[in-house]
Amino acid sequence: MAKVIVVTSGKGGVGKTTSCASLGSGLALRGHRTVMIDFDVGLRNLDLILGCERRVVYDLVNVIQGEASLQQALIRDKRADELYMLPASQTRDKDALTLEGVQQVIAELSRDFDYILCDSPAGIERGAQLAMYFADEAVLVTNPEVSSVRDTDRIIGLLHAKTLAAKEGRKITEHLLITRYSPERVHQGEMLSLEDVQEILAVPLMGVIPESEAVLTASNKGIPVIHDETCDASQAYRDAVARLLGEERPLRFTEYRKQGLFSRVFKGGR
């Protein structure tokens, strides 16, 4: 039986897809059979971040409507052996996704995989609710910023009310993933600190991903940033994966140290 994990946020553009791609790759690199489902019907992006956009033939809606088998639609990642992904449809409208259809796909994937990661669309409407419905765990991607924190809180409300787990009286395991964190701006008092965000949301912290130029470079190339081992964001995602697997890791890249001229010139702020 696979563990179903939804990567969600409420607010758009906070780093769900970036995080899903790196967490999925990280789980696979650690030897776990992992599949990612892109639930962002109409706006699919996970394929681009993974660099497999040209290999997309069939998608989630095709499978649900019986136009393709799962085997035909699943795309195998080029970099991590144990990683697969199921793309979202770009042309169909959102109503093509049905609860029964999603249930069937997840049940079938559940037999072959250890982890199923659901990349949620933004918002708190039907699409986001479908992505979270069958989840056992939730990664709450949050930027240290008022509207993102508020939207995450609303998503937590939905996790408690509108999921299968909630209806069966089970509790979804929640993980807070703070992304685009800038220790320097926190130090200057310009940005909510990770302690602030964690205290307000009261969800266990799974990781803090620093604001990093390497993320843009990675998405330009179609290689999830976790593969760029030289950068802080990659290390932070590796730590997050380890914590997801139950290991303890101290936080890194969260303290501000004033950089000397030397390291500023030669490291270029990575």
Partner 1 sequence: MKLLDLFQREQRASAGEARERLKIILAHERSLRSQPEFLPRLQQDLLEVVKRYVSIQSDQVRVQLDRHDMMSVLEINVTFPNTALSGGVQGGGH
Ligand X SMILES: Nc1ncnc2c1ncn2[C@@H]1O[C@H](COP(=O)(O)OP(=O)(O)OP(=O)(O)O)[C@@H](O)[C@H]1O
Binding-site residues for ATP, please?
11-18
Q: Residue 216 interacts with ligand X (CB under 6 A)?
A: yes
| Residue whose CB is less far from partner 1, 196 or 213 | 196
Among 118, 122, 124, 128, binds ligand X (CB under 6 A): 122
Rule CB under 8 A: say whether 162 interacts with partner 1. no
Kindly state the tokens that stand for 220. Answer: 């330009």
Q: How far is the CB of 63 from partner 1 (least distance, A)?
A: 35
Whose CB is nearest to Mg ion?
A: 17
Question: Are the C-beta atoms of residues 164 and 106 closer than 8 Å to each other?
Answer: no
The reply to whether 191 sits near partner 1 by the rule CB under 8 A is yes
Sequence-ordered alpha helix ranges (H) in the chain: 16-29, 46-50, 60-64, 70-73, 99-112, 126-133, 146-161, 164-167, 183-187, 194-201, 213-221, 232-244, 261-267
Look up residue 187 and give its two tokens: 């130090």
Q: Which stretches of 56-176 are DSSP H helices?
A: 60-64, 70-73, 99-112, 126-133, 146-161, 164-167
- Asked whether the beta carbons of 156 and 203 are under 8 A apart, the reply is yes
Rule CB under 8 A: say whether 192 interacts with partner 1.
Answer: yes
From the list partner 1, Mg ion, ligand X, none, partner contacted by residue 190 (C-beta under 5 to 8 A by kind): partner 1
Please report whether residue 157 would count as binding partner 1 according to CB under 8 A.
Answer: yes
Q: Which residues contact 202 (CB under 8 A, 6 or more apart)?
A: none
In the complex with partner 1, the residue whose CB is nearer, 53 or 153, is 153
Q: Which of 145, 162, 198, 242 binds partner 1 (CB under 8 A)?
A: 145
244 residue type, one letter: L
Contact call for residue 209 and ligand X (CB under 6 A)? yes
> Footprint of Mg ion on this chain (CB under 5 A)?
16-17
Among 189, 246, 250, 268, binds partner 1 (CB under 8 A): 189
78's CB contacts (< 8 A; 6+ apart) are 51, 52
Q: 71 contacts which partner out of partner 1, Mg ion, ligand X, none, CB within 5 to 8 A by kind? A: none
Residue 193 interacts with partner 1 (CB under 8 A)?
Answer: yes
13 binds partner 1 (CB under 8 A): no
Residue 154 touches which member of partner 1, ligand X, Mg ion, none, C-beta under 5-8 Å by kind? partner 1
Say which entry of partner 1, Mg ion, ligand X, none residue 232 contacts (CB below 5 to 8 A, set by partner kind).
none
Q: Three-state SS for 220?
A: helix
Answer for the pair 119, 131: CB distance below 8 angstroms, yes or no.
yes
